[in-house]
Chains A and B, each alone.
Chain A
Amino acid sequence: GQSLEQPSEVTAVEGAIVQINCTYQTSGFYGLSWYQQHDGGAPTFLSYNALDGLEETGRFSSFLSRSDSYGYLLLQELQMKDSASYFCAALGDFNKFYFGSGTKLNVKP
């Protein structure tokens, strides 16, 4: 089966850096992506790693280590608007996306 584990909740202060980890176990793996979801909204794509290493997109960076079946999302210079849930998702066989249970990020002033 498919399994992606991530912390359920993280709290940080405005301006800080936070890292959200994700470990995965999937049959067939083509890459790891990250999505943001605000309360009542739809998930929106943030970043994707197909290869090992770090991908940077503005204040957000994502990392993948295939050998460790591990990745993380790094959010820098946290802003209040970053308060949301963050999901890692593995791209598996037949172009299926499998999601973790999500990490709720609380940003405090």
Chain B
Amino acid sequence: DAGITQSPRHKVTETGTPVTLRCHQTENHRYMYWYRQDPGHGLRLIHYSYGVKDTDKGEVSDGYSVSRSKTEDFLLTLESATSSQTSVYFCAISEGQRYEAFFGQGTRLTVV
């Protein structure tokens, strides 16, 4: 199994508070991704990274920011959480020369 860890696994937070989710990999893969999964929508790309300090927006990036200061860590920040950001968040990594993505176990975030 690919070495990819998400933290925390579960979080409940209040509307308006900042939240940071962490993704840590031990595979030295170049590409890292944040997805959110909601019923009926599958996995939607929030942001992705193609190298240290190199990030770009995905399909649903509003209200989210990311940072990647080291190859192994990719952080997703909700600047001011809203109830619409209640979701399951998945981090994924990819080597780039291959065609598969490896996923972390997910973070279930509830904004109340």
Residues on A facing B (Cβ under 8 Å): 1-2, 4, 8, 30-31, 33, 41-45, 48, 50, 87, 89, 91, 94-102
21 contacts between A and B (CB under 8 A): A1-B59, A2-B59, A33-B99, A33-B100, A41-B105, A42-B90, A42-B103, A42-B106, A43-B103, A45-B100, A45-B101, A87-B43, A94-B56, A95-B31, A95-B96, A96-B48, A97-B92, A97-B94, A98-B59, A99-B42, A101-B41
- Residues in A with CB closer than 8 Å to B96 are 95
| Nearest CB of A to B74, in Å | 14
In angstroms, Cα B98 to Cα A33, docked, is 11
| Nearest CB of B to A35, in Å | 8
Q: Are A97 and B101 in contact, with the CB atoms below 8 A?
A: yes
Residue of B whose beta carbon sits closest to that of A103: B42
In angstroms, Cα B37 to Cα A99, docked, is 10
In angstroms, Cα B56 to Cα A99, docked, is 18
In angstroms, Cα B102 to Cα A42, docked, is 9
Q: How large is the interface on B (under 10, 10 to 19, 20 to 34, 35 or more residues)?
A: 20 to 34
**Contact status of A99 and B35, CB under 8 A, knowing A33-B99, A50-B99:** yes
Residue of B whose beta carbon sits closest to that of A44: B103
**Contact status of A43 and B90, CB under 8 A, knowing A87-B43, A99-B43, A102-B42:** yes
Residue of A whose beta carbon sits closest to that of B102: A45
| Nearest CB of A to B41, in Å | 6
Q: Are B99 and A31 in contact, with the CB atoms below 8 A?
A: yes
